[in-house]
Amino acid sequence: MTSTTASRRVAETPAASAPRPAIRRGSRRRRAATAGFHTTGILISFAWFLPILIVLITSFRTFDDVAKHGIASVPKSFTLDTYVQAWNQGGLFPALVNSMIVTIPTVILSLLLAAAAAFGLSRFKIPFRRTILLIMLAGNLLPVQMLLIPVTRITQQVDIYDTLGALIVVQVAFGLGFYTFVLYGFMRSIPHELQEAATLDGAGVGRIFIQVILPLTRPALAALGALSFTWIFNDLLWSITLLQSSEKLPITAAVLSLQGQYVSSWSVIAAATVVAAIPSTIVFLIFQRSFIGGLALGSVK
């Protein structure tokens, strides 16, 4: 019995060990695929971060260094005078104030109007509500360049041309459709039982909107708030179209004004660009968790 059992074990051993090379090959393929994925991700990240790194390094170089060796060369100087020149010559402080005057009210007003519109379209049986939503969204599909002259003429006729109020009105109008579309999807997924329970407790439409729907839509509002702040704060096209007075220019137009007709101090322009990017970066870092949570929640819904 012992010899028979031993022979069976010997006979079964190759069969049991046969799949091991296949398992090893599969694990090697997975490791190679993982390494290739991470390598590709690192290369793409480096290619995306390289221009930002060049701008940041250039902002600390002198004009002679950049003019003699080029922007992409190894820096041979270090100075902080470029930031002082950008701050004084470009008028960055009043430009930052103008950008905040336009951006903050625009974000708040856009989200409030979009939330109210999405609440009505998603929670009540409004005739042709999908058609209304598609019409609002279709406005964002038109190229902005086609609307520059008509919008400029309208602002001149209503006597708001060359004012910060014109920027606020235009930014709200062009962003309202997209914000409503996004919030509509979030509010539509909220159970109607919550609204019915609040109605039974005697809550009106306004109270349901403020105390029930808006708190549940907070991740979407935070994500849209961060996006809209970045879009509006960094907008250049409408700024140079609707504004003529230099004291009313926002930060992006102020940075553009630093570029000379024949010779440009790229180190000063780079310093102004870094300063202009600080507010958007701060807002993103503050709302980073809410922003990522809002995007994840939107992908599930």
Query: Which residues lie below 8 Å from residue 94, measured CB to CB, with a gap of 6+?
Result: 247
Domains (range + CATH), the chain: 88-300 (1.10.3720.10)
Does pTM surpass 0.75? Answer: yes
| Six-digit token string for 234 | 């960094």
| Contacts for 293 with CB less than 8 Å, ≥ 6 apart | 219, 222, 223
Q: Which sign, positive or negative, has the C-alpha torsion 160, 166, 169, 174?
A: positive
Amino acid at 48: W
Token digits of residue 4: 């028979």
Q: What is the pLDDT along the chain (301 residues), one digit of tens a residue?
A: 445 554 555 445 544 444 555 566 667 777 877 888 888 889 998 888 888 899 999 999 988 888 888 887 888 888 889 999 888 888 899 999 999 999 999 999 999 999 999 998 888 888 888 888 888 878 778 888 888 999 999 999 999 999 999 999 999 998 888 899 889 888 888 888 888 888 888 888 888 888 888 888 888 888 888 889 999 999 999 999 999 888 899 999 999 888 875 457 888 999 999 999 999 889 888 877 766 665 555 444 4
> How many other CB atoms are there within 10 angstroms of residue 271's CB atom?
30
